[in-house]
Amino acid sequence: MARAPFEIAGTRVAPGSRQRIELPIAKLYTHAPLNVPVEVIHGRRPGPVLLVCGAIHGDEINSVEIVRRLLRSSALNRLRGTLIAVPIVNVFGFVQHSRYLPDRRDLNRCFPGSESGSLGSRMAALLREEIVDKATHIIDLHTGAIHRTNLPQIRAQLEHSETTRAMAEAFGAPVILNAELREGSLREYAQRKGVPVLTYEAGEALRFDEWAIVSGTRGVLRVMRLLEMLPASRGGHKIPASEVSKGSSWARAPIDGILRPRVKLGARVVKGQRLGAVAGPFGAEEQDVIAAADGIVIGMNNLPLANEGEALFHIARFAEMDEAESAVEYFHSTLEEP
C-alpha cells in the first residue's frame, strides 16, 4: 500500500517530496496576515515524525540558523519518516526582536491554548492542532535570554522514557540537565501526551554563536540517526560524551554595580572560588561573586551591569566533575575540527 501524504493546514505533501507551507497564524493590527513558515519533508518510507522548531521565543535566532542548516543538509535526501521544520514559531517576536508576543505574553507558557483565548492562547492552539499533535518526537531549540549566554545543553525529563534519555544522549551536547517541566510550555504539553521532547539551549538571544549553531545542527542530525530517520554514517559517528548534571543554581550579584567576570563559559569552578567582582563606578565598594559549589559554568550574564540579586553565573553540579570537565573539553575540540 502506498504511503499516505502528510497534511498540514490543508496542504498535502506527497511521499518522497518536500514542501513549504505558510500556516496562517494571526493578523497584524493593519489586518495584514501573518504566517508561520513551515517546511515538511515527507520521506518515501515510513518512520517517526520529528518536529524541529526554533524561536518560540522570538529573539532566540541561533535556533533559526540551526533549522536553516538542517534543511540544507544533503543527508535529508535519504530521510525515513517525516521532518517538520519550523524555523520561526513566534513570528511576532522575531520581527520585533522580542522574546514575547505583542501583548507581552510568553508563547512558551500558552500551551495547550484555546481557540477562543487571547493571541498567545490562539496561536498555541493552532500550532498544537496543525503541527505539534502530528509529531511523534520533538526538538525545541532555544538560546539564553537577552544578555545571557548558555553553554550548549540539553534539557529534558530523563525519566520520562527510554527514548527521551536516548535522544538526550545522542544529541551530544556536553551537558544534560534533567529539567522540570514549565507549566504551559511546548515541552510540558507534548510530554504529558507521551511525546519525547528535548529542549536545546545554547548561545545568547539576538546573537549568532557559531558553537551553538554547529553543535545544534549536528545534534539534531545525530538524534535523527538514533531514530533511524537517517542512515548511520559510514565508519560510525562518534557521539561526544554528555554528562548529566545533578542540579544547578545561579551565583548572584552581592551588591549593585558593575560586574567584572573572572571565569568563562564552560569553566570548571570550585566551591568558594571568585567568579567575578561587582563594584561601584569608583571601585571603592567592591564585593566578590563566590561559587557556592563545585561545578561547571553553563550560563552567564554578558551584561556587566547588575543589581543586587541579579543572576550572573549559572553553575551546574555533577557527581563526576572530571567527566563533566572532559565532556566540555571534548566538545570544544570537536568544534575546532575543519
With contact defined as beta carbons under 8 Å apart, do 296 and 175 qualify? yes
Q: Which residue in the set 40, 42, 51, 57 belongs to the binding site for Zn ion (CB under 5 A)?
A: 57
Cβ of residue 177: shortest distance to Zn ion, in angstroms?
A: 14
Q: Which is nearer to Zn ion, 6 or 171 (CB)?
A: 171
By the rule CB under 5 A, 142 interacts with Zn ion: yes
CB under 5 A: which stretch of 20-28, 54-62, 65-73, 259-267 binds Zn ion? 54-62
Bridge partner residues of 7 (DSSP): 12
CB under 5 A: which stretch of 36-44, 59-67, 77-85, 265-273 binds Zn ion? 59-67
CB under 5 A: which stretch of 77-85, 140-148, 185-193, 329-337 binds Zn ion? 140-148
Q: Rounded to whole angstroms, how far apart are CA atoms 173 and 169?
A: 8
Cβ of residue 268: shortest distance to Zn ion, in angstroms?
A: 26
By the rule CB under 5 A, 155 interacts with Zn ion: no
CA distances from residue 218 to 13, 67, 70, 173, 303 in whole angstroms, order as listed = 26, 11, 8, 9, 29
Cβ of residue 120: shortest distance to Zn ion, in angstroms?
A: 14
Q: Which is nearer to Zn ion, 36 or 324 (CB)?
A: 36
With contact defined as beta carbons under 8 Å apart, do 98 and 59 qualify? yes
Cβ of residue 60: shortest distance to Zn ion, in angstroms?
A: 5
Q: Read off φ and ψ for residue 159, nearest 5 degrees.
A: -80, -5
With contact defined as beta carbons under 8 Å apart, do 138 and 132 qualify? yes
CB under 5 A: which stretch of 52-60, 73-81, 270-278, 285-293 binds Zn ion? 52-60
Bridge partner residues of 52 (DSSP): 85, 139
Bridge partner residues of 13 (DSSP): 6
Helix or strand holding residue 166 (H, E)? helix 162-171
- What is the size of the binding site for Zn ion (CB under 5 A)? 3
Q: Which is nearer to Zn ion, 142 or 187 (CB)?
A: 142
By the rule CB under 5 A, 42 interacts with Zn ion: no
CB under 5 A: which stretch of 22-30, 141-149, 152-160, 284-292 binds Zn ion? 141-149
- Map the footprint of Zn ion across residues 275-334, applying CB under 5 A: none
Cβ of residue 198: shortest distance to Zn ion, in angstroms?
A: 13
E strands, the chain, are 6-8, 11-13, 17-27, 33-42, 45-54, 80-86, 137-142, 148-156, 175-178, 197-204, 243-245, 247-252, 257-261, 268-269, 274-279, 286-290, 295-301, 305-306, 311-317
Cβ of residue 35: shortest distance to Zn ion, in angstroms?
A: 21
Cβ of residue 140: shortest distance to Zn ion, in angstroms?
A: 8
Q: DSSP letter for 65, please.
A: H
Binding site for Zn ion (CB under 5 A): 57, 60, 142
